[in-house]
Structure 1
Amino acid sequence: MKSLKNKFSVLLVLFCSQLSFAQDSLKLSHQEFLNIVKNYHPLAFRYQLQNKIGNAEITKARGNFDPVIAGKLGEKNIDGTKYYEQKNVELGIPTWYGIDIAGSYNYLDGEKLNSSETKGGLYQFGVTVPLAKNLLYDKRRATLDQAKFGFKMTEAEQTVLTNELLLNAENSYWEWVKNFQIYKLQKSAVEINKKRLDLTKKTYEFGERPVIDTVEASSQLQNFELQEREAYLNFVRSTQEMQIYLWRDNQEFFEISQLIFPSSDLDEHSGYNDYEFLIESIQAMQLQNHASLEYYFQKQNILESERRLKWQSFLPKLDFTYNFFNKENYRADFLPLFYNNFQYGLKLEIPVFQRQARADYEIAKLKISQNQQDSQVKLREILTKIETYKNEISNYFTQIDISTKNLINYQRLLNAEEMRFSNGESSLFLINSRETKLLEATEKNIELKAKFLKSYNKLKWLNENFLR
């Protein structure tokens, strides 16, 4: 908080007295500002890192299918008696369908060996096949599937978050532009009324106007000066708010050290001409391609993978293992498999009450149901936003048209009143009244344009969330 206050104080010093367009001032365009946010803002960089993390998770899950090489070397000798000497090399290969393949070479020698162990070199080739549980789906496959779905889920989420960041940044920029234009408007009104006050004082000195006209002109000037200072403060505040989006390379905060002004204007925006095209474009989009819904679709895939995995818990664990042996320097005789030099095993496990399996499976189904409801809510939210933003854009565009025509009429009234005043048929009070109305209408017109652009941006960045 103290840091923000210090920065705000720096801004006040920079903008002290009146704003002037000095040669050393900075001008920032709309596109330049967006490029800075896209390339340097820490959140945009963080979202990119999140996608990289998701990609690394896939690599990690694939590691469950990596072959494993193991080796063992050992000897036991007591009082000159060699109990055993052992050398062993193994290779294990897990496969996609839950089948594990293993091969090894084992050399064993010694005087105190178990009767089931074989002296000399022994080659072994084996396979373990799940016959029930884990045959169709297992933890390794589920982990890899979920990592892939999670990556797509992360991509969709980061798309939405990045576009939300750019939306907030862009609307902050146009709020800054709006406040700058209002300040320029108020500043212009102050300059006009200063000249009017000087002229009124001279006509009073020449005896052409009563003293009350100087009071009227002075009062009007003071009113505009107050409005100018308020507009100036709003511009400074919006500059400070916009500064939170300004960063340098390596995520270093951009400190404003000289005057900065917008080089873009509310009237120059292309949205006034292509907003109908934007509405048509978003209406042609398939809602299921929206990144927010894609997030829930991928989450649904993850939950479905988890449900399939939990279903395996209902099946008995029945694993068949077969190993073929061949002694070193002996001719290999593979067939028949169960005739000579083999070992096999069959292991069966059956949970009696299946309580954990039933609970886990029920939880998995409930989570799927929850996600489906969440996706329906998100769908309704997107539809509502689209309709709301469309209505706002159309309504503000109509208001701008009416406001612009109204401005022309107020300007005509002011011109006519000034003409009457020069002919001695009006008063300074009426001129001030006309001028105040014109100023209020102009400020209202600027605010309507800013509101239009903010709604336009909401629809634009909502449209950017659709995955093409």
Structure 2
Amino acid sequence: MKKVNKLFLAFLILFSIQFSFAQDSLKLSHQEFMNIVKNYHPLAFKYQLQNRIAREEITSARGNFDPVIAGKLGEKNIDGTRYYSQRNIELGIPTWYGIDITGSYNYLEGQKLNSSETPGGLYQFGITVPLAKNLLYDRRRAMLDQAKFGLRMTEAEQTVLTNELLLDAENTFWEWVKNYEIYRLQKSAVQINRKRLELTKKTYEFGERPAIDTVEAASQLQSFELQERDAFLNFVKSTQDLQMFLWKENQEFYEISQLIFPSSSLDEHSGYSDYELLVENVKSRQLENHASLEYYFQKQNILESERRLKWQSFLPKLDFTYNFFNKENYRPDYLPFFDNNFQYGLKLEIPVFMRQARADYQIAKLKISQNQQDSQLKFREINTKIETYRNEVSNYFTQIDISTQNLNNYERLLNAEETRFSNGESSLFLINSRENKLLEAREKNLDLKAKFLKSYNKLKWLNENFLR
């Protein structure tokens, strides 16, 4: 905090001293600023990383289907008696439909082997098939499906978050430009009134004006000087707000070490001419394609996958396992499967009350219902925002047109009052009054343009959130 305050004070002093040397200052355009935010802002970089994480989650889920090679080597020897010596290598292949395939070679010898064990080399090929639970859907398939849906969900979410960041940055930029133009406006008024005060003093010395006119001119100058200081402070504050979006490569914060001014102006924005096209473009979009809704659609897919998985818990766990054996150096005897050299098993598990299965399934259904409600609410929210921003843009554009006409009228009134004053038909008080009204009208005009651009940007970045 102390560092920021020192920076603020240094910038304030530097700005005050060197404002007249604008040619040595740093100029920043709208396009340059937005490129900096897109390429270097830590949040933009963070959102890109989030998408990469989601892609790696898919790779991780695919790992559940990777073949597994296992090996085992062991021996037991007590008091010179070798109970057993074993060498084993095995390959397990999980498949998409819950079927597991295994193949192995096992060599076993020793003096204390169990009667169920087969000495010598033994080849084995086996298969395990779920006949009820996990046949149509299991956790391996669910994890992969959910990872794929999660990637689309993350991409939609990061699209919205990135565009919100760019919207915030763009509106901060145009607020900065507005405050700079207001400061220039106030500074120009101070310069004009300083010259007017000097002229009034000379006319008073020549006996052409009363002394009260010098007081009137000085009061007007002091009033504008106060407004200039206030406008300058607002500009410096908005510069600090802008600095929060200025970063360098490797996400290093950009510290302002020299003057910085906008090279773009409010009047140069293309939104005044193409806002109607933007409004029509947004109207023609399908809300279902909005990234915010896509987020909920993909979340719905994840929840549906979880519901399907929980439904499997109602089925009995019935697994059939078959292993075919062949001793080393023996001629294979494959058929019939249940005649010789085989082993099979049938395992059945049935929960008695199924309380966990019922609870888990109901929870999954309730989460789906919650997401549907959230999706409907978001649909209504987006639709309302579109209507609000459209109305704001149209209304502010109309107000700018009226304000510009009003501004022109105040300029004409001031010019006419100055002509009357030079002819001795008016007073300095009336000129000051006209000038105050003109300055207020100019500030109002700048404020309306800034409000228009902010609403235009809201509509523009909302439009950017549509995926297709």
Q: TM-score range by the shorter chain?
A: over 0.9
Q: Percent identity, please.
A: 82
- Once residues 387 and 18 of structure 2 are traced to their aligned partners in structure 1, the CA distance between those partners, rounded to angstroms, is 43
Shift of 1:399: 0.3
Encode CA deviations 1:159-216: one digit per residue, 9 max, x unaligned.
0000000000000000000000000000000000001001100100000000011000
* Contact 1:11–1:240 (Cα < 8 Å) also in 2: no
2:296 and 2:9 map into 1 onto residues whose CA distance is: 46
Q: Which AA in structure 1 matches 2:223?
A: N
Q: Distance in 1 between the 2:429 and 2:334 partners?
A: 114
CA distance in 2, matches of 1:22, 1:227: 21
Give yes or no for the alignment of 1:349 onto 2:349. Answer: yes
Return the offset for 1:78. Answer: 1.7
Alignment of 1:307-326 (within 5 A): 307-326=307-326
Deviations, residues 109-159 of structure 1 (Å, cap 9, x unaligned):
111100011111000000000000000000100011111111111111100
Residue of structure 2 in register with 1:287 after alignment: 287
| Equivalent pairs, count | 468
How much does 1:17 deviate? 4.2
- Offset at residue 18 of structure 1 (A): 6.7
* Equivalent in the alignment of 1:121: 121
- Determine the structure 2 residue equivalent to 1:373: 373
Between stretches 327-336 and 159-168, larger displacement belongs to: 327-336
The alignment yields a C-alpha RMSD, in angstroms, of 0.8
**What SS does the corresponding residue of 2:306 show, helix, strand or coil?**
helix
User: Which residue identity lines up with residue 27 of structure 2 in the other structure?
Assistant: K
Q: Which residue is 1:247 aligned to?
A: 247
* TM-score under structure 2 length normalisation: 0.99
Structure 2 residue identity aligned to 1:189: A
Tell me how far apart the structure 2 counterparts of residues 84 and 415 of structure 1 sit (CA, whole Å).
113
Question: Could you report, residue by residue, the CA deviation over 1:401-443 in whole angstroms, capped at 9, with x for unpaired residues?
Answer: 0000111110000010000001100000000000100000000
1: CA distance, partners of 2:9 / 2:376: 48
CA distance in 2, matches of 1:276, 1:409: 28
Which 10-residue stretch deviates more, 329-338 or 247-256? 329-338
Letter in 2 for 1:211: A
Q: Equivalents in 1 of 2:131, 2:73: separation in Å?
A: 34
> Are the aligned partners of 1:94 and 1:100 in contact in 2 as well (CA < 8 Å)?
yes
1:213 maps to: 213
Query: Match for residue 149 of structure 1?
Result: 149
- In structure 2, distance between residues paired with 1:302 and 1:8: 49
Structure 2 residue matching 1:15: 3-state secondary structure: helix
Contact kept? 1:104, 1:125, Cα under 8 Å:
yes
Say yes or no: does 1:457 pair with 2:457. yes
Instruction: State the Cα deviation string for residues 232-281 of structure 1 (Å, max 9, x = none).
Output: 00000000010000000000000100000000000000000000000111
Deviation at 1:21, TM superposition (A): 4.0
Distance 2:401 2:21 in 1: 31
Gaps of 5+ in 1: none
Amino acid at match of 1:61: A
* Alignment map for 1:86-125 (pairs within 5 Å): 86-125=86-125
Matched with 2:328 is 328
Q: What's the counterpart of residue 3 of structure 1?
A: 3
Counterparts of 1:161 and 1:331, CA distance in 2: 66
- Using the alignment, how far apart are the partners of 1:25 and 1:459 within structure 2? 33
Q: 1:21 to 1:393 in 2, by over 3 A?
A: farther
Is 2:17 the partner of 1:12? no
Q: Deviations over 1:364-414 (max 9, x none)?
A: 000000000000000000000000000000000000000001111100000
Q: Tell me how far apart the structure 2 counterparts of residues 399 and 23 of structure 1 sit (CA, whole Å).
A: 35
> Which 5+ residue runs of structure 2 have no aligned equivalent?
none
Write the letter of the residue equivalent to 1:150. G
Q: How does 1:341-420 map to 2 (within 5 A)?
A: 341-420=341-420
SS in structure 2 at match of 1:19: helix
Matched, 1:301 2:308: no
User: Counterpart of 1:238 in structure 2: which amino acid?
Assistant: S
Output the amino acid matched with 1:454.
K
Runs of 4+ aligned structure 1 residues displaced above 6 Å come to none
